[in-house]
């Protein structure tokens, strides 16, 4: 996941403002210039994802007021969990059962082809922001939305962890590294919300 996002992002940052696609922050900044309310979207997504990691931990269960239980897969993805009153009275829901997993290599190949093909098609427009919209949207669809939706609704998982869950697990081994990454995420949140901060407009 780090490579999937990092490669196009770093490539665009190093290549400069005339490159075929912009960075994520420049793309978001372009949207904010057109619709200022867009500034709230990345802030909300980062906060929701970060909060949910600490609210719903792996191998644990959280119960809502409507008796709907939620748990996390070993990879950190949120899933519905059916519980009975007898299980609740006995101390909570049983651990998640073994779940079917999608194969990483075929999916990675398919997702990469889809992202690259869509970006090449968008590049024909000679509009770097359109390329950025298509590129980053496809990355979000294939590497965030589909894996999480598949885990939640189809009971199928991918054998790799989510970004925030990886940071959470890293904190158990290397607290300082996890703290630095968390701080960088807060800086990213501020950068996207107040783009182009810390650079001058």
pLDDT tens, residue order, the chain (201 aa): 667 777 888 888 888 888 898 988 888 888 888 888 877 888 888 787 777 666 656 556 666 666 677 777 777 777 777 766 666 666 655 556 656 778 888 888 899 999 999 999 999 998 999 999 999 999 999 988 888 888 888 777 877 777 777 777 777 777 787 778 778 878 877 877 777 777 766
User: Is 63 part of any domain?
Assistant: no
What single DSSP character describes residue 94? P
Structural domain containing residue 156: 2-55+99-193
If you search the block for the tokens 């897969």, which residue do you land on?
73
User: Is 84 part of any domain?
Assistant: no
Helix pair 2-15, 24-34: axis angle to 10 deg: 80
User: Is 141 part of any domain?
Assistant: yes
User: Is 77 part of any domain?
Assistant: no
Q: How many domains does the chain have?
A: 1
User: Is 152 part of any domain?
Assistant: yes
Phi-psi region of 155 (alpha: psi -120 to 50; beta: other; left: phi over 0): left
């Amino acid at each position: 996941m780090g490579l999937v996002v990092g490669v196009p992002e770093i490539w665009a940052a190093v290549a400069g403002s005339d490159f075929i696609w912009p960075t994520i922050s420049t793309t978001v900044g372009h949207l904010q210039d057109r619709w200022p309310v867009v500034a709230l979207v990345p802030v909300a997504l980062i906060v929701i994802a970060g909060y949910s990691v600490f609210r719903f931990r792996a191998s644990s269960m959280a119960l809502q007021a409507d008796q709907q239980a939620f748990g996390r897969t070993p990879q950190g993805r949120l899933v519905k969990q059916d519980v009975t009153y007898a299980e609740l009275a006995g101390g909570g829901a049983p651990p998640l059962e073994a779940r079917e997993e999608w194969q990483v290599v075929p999916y990675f190949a398919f997702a990469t082809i889809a992202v690259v093909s869509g970006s090449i098609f968008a590049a024909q427009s000679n509009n770097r922001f359109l390329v950025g919209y298509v590129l980053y949207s496809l990355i979000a669809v294939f590497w965030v939305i589909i894996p999480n939706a598949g885990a939640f609704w189809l009971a199928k998982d991918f054998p790799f962890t989510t970004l925030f869950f990886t940071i959470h697990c890293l904190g158990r081994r290397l607290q300082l590294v996890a703290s630095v990454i968390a701080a960088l995420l807060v800086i990213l949140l501020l950068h996207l919300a107040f783009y182009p901060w810390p650079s001058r407009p």
